Chains A and B, each alone.
Chain A
Amino acid sequence: GAVVSQHPSRVICKSGTSVKIECRSLDFQATTMFWYRQFPKQSLMLMATSNEGSKATYEQGVEKDKFLINHASLTLSTLTVTSAHPEDSSFYICSARGRRSGANVLTFGAGSRLTVL
């Protein structure tokens, strides 16, 4: 099936540093990628939608300058958490939408757990 690789799976960083998370579609071209955030014991909340070659669309309340999203190719989107703080500690999950073997696919990555000290 359609595979999405998300890296790193876990990352620990110091407060004030920036962290980059990658989301790659391995066997299909992802025209759209979605980034979600999940706090402990809570649901997944959509942060932003990115289309290849254009600026991301952010959901209300999500800081564009803090969560930089780049979708430079049809197989790669990156989320950069800038100047991370402990309250940014969360589980970040991407999903990729595209077509594979003539069918629409929507696949999630395995997630990235960010801990900011």
Chain B
Amino acid sequence: AQKVTQAQTEISVVEKEDVTLDCVYETRDTTYYLFWYKQPPSGELVFLIRRNSFDEQNEISGRYSWNFQKSTSSFNFTITASQVVDSAVYFCALSEGYNQGGKLIFGQGTELSVKP
């Protein structure tokens, strides 16, 4: 069965600290997609990244970076030099067979609080 686990329910850091949000997933499929979304208090989901199961290269986008490791079924997200505007709930999600699906299984979410 598919499952996404974000073990950290809440994280609090001080501005400029680096922070890593963990995501562990379970799936039987060999083809799948992983996502990260940011949800600010307004509720709208902000897309951050999509990674397919065949691409294990790490990715960096500005202060954001992602570490995908199939060996441990993890897709962790790191924010470098965190800022107050990074405060939000972050969701990791899994989709099997993206080209045929698009149905996402979400993790429980991690609420990140960045204090000035």
Residues of A at under 8 Å CB distance from B? 32, 34, 38, 42-46, 49, 91, 93, 95, 97, 104, 106-108, 110-111, 113
- Contacts A110-B43, A111-B43, A113-B43 hold; do A95 and B102 have CB atoms under 8 A apart? yes
Interface size class on chain B is 10 to 19
**Contact of B70 with A by CB under 8 A:** no
Q: Of B42, B47, B102, B107, which one neighbours A97 at CB under 8 angstroms?
A: B102
Q: Give chain A nearest CB distance to B22 CB in angstroms.
A: 15
B102 close to A32 (CB less than 8 A): yes
User: How many A-B pairs with Cβ below 8 Å?
Assistant: 42
Complex CA gap A62/B83 in Å reads 39
Residues of B at under 8 Å CB distance from A? 37, 42-45, 47, 91, 98-99, 102-109
Complex CA gap A114/B108 in Å reads 21
A44 close to B102 (CB less than 8 A): no
Q: Give chain A nearest CB distance to B77 CB in angstroms.
A: 16
- Contacts A104-B98, A104-B99 hold; do A44 and B106 have CB atoms under 8 A apart? yes
Task: Pick 22 A–B contacts, CB within 8 A, sort by A.
Answer: A32-B102, A34-B104, A43-B91, A43-B108, A43-B109, A45-B106, A46-B103, A46-B104, A91-B43, A93-B43, A95-B104, A97-B102, A104-B98, A104-B99, A106-B98, A106-B102, A110-B43, A110-B44, A111-B43, A111-B44, A111-B45, A113-B43
